[in-house]
Structure 1
Amino acid sequence: MSDVRWLSETEMAAWRSYVVASLRLRQRLHRELAERHEVSLADYEVLVCLSINPDDRVRMTELAVLMGSTKSRLSHQIGKLEAAGLVHRGRDPEDKRGVVAELTDTGRALLERAAPTHVDGVREHLIDLLSPSEQQVIGDAFGRVLEHLSELEA
């Protein structure tokens, strides 16, 4: 046990603040979307990931990576979105072995209605609480964390 680098008080405070604040932030953003647009934060994020592609579709394996999700969890989520008419699943036109998820017109309309609520929430509960330099530091720091974790999974 002597080889363990235990967290200092400052490190522990940073870790706990991150864990609790990120959880509560996601809960708050979810609640705002659910109450105003009847869409979960997780489902909203899928719609966003589809919409940022020029043809509004993404291969399921790529979408799982973008979402930080497992393929089986994403497949279940896409199934619910498909049943609601927000997403369509089909064969990848460029590789018939692959499956793509595609944003429907109904999904795009929901995304367009919900996006202002989400952006307002992100601003109110995070971005506007930080100075521009703090925003830069957080972006740089979590960019490194994401890169590190992506390399571990590669």
Structure 2
Amino acid sequence: MAVQSHRRWAALAGWCALCFAAGGIGAVASVDARGFYADLVRPEWAPPPSVFGPVWSVLYLLMAIAAWRIGLSNATGARPALVAFVLQLAVNALWSWLFFAWHLGAASVLDIGLLWLLVVATLVLFWRIDRIAGALLVPYLAWVSFAGALCWAIWRANPTLLG
């Protein structure tokens, strides 16, 4: 029984490591983001830069717990659901590179649109297996929806900086 419990906690640690690694990959692309973001024309409803780190930290933790719950299930759809999860995580990490490192506005908008679709698909797949796991992705979907609108607005307001 103790071995089983140890494996469960190790699996949670693994999902946390994967999610926070994706966040870390994005953070590397955002090293110089403060100055770049300050130079951008942003809508009045854009949050201050200090909001992004804490929000993403909570979201990555919720995502890891959701994936962990699916990983623990023996449901037939668990494997495809986790593949969708990992795929959306990769698309998530790519966004910071497109926007902050490479200043590709149109590509970042397309990426976040694809991310939104993948998050919806993942949420639906998770929900079918474990409603709590699906519900844990709802804040992520809400934030990606908001971030998509923000990305679009910033891209449209900054055609020279985000060509």
Q: Which TM-score band applies after superposition, normalised by the shorter structure? A: 0.3 to 0.5
TM-score (norm 2): 0.32
Which structure's relative contact order is higher, taking Cα pairs within 8 Å and 6+ residues apart? Answer: 2
TM-score (norm 1): 0.33
**Structure whose residues are more often helix by fraction:** 2
Q: Which has the larger radius of gyration?
A: 1
**Structure whose residues are more often strand by fraction:** 1
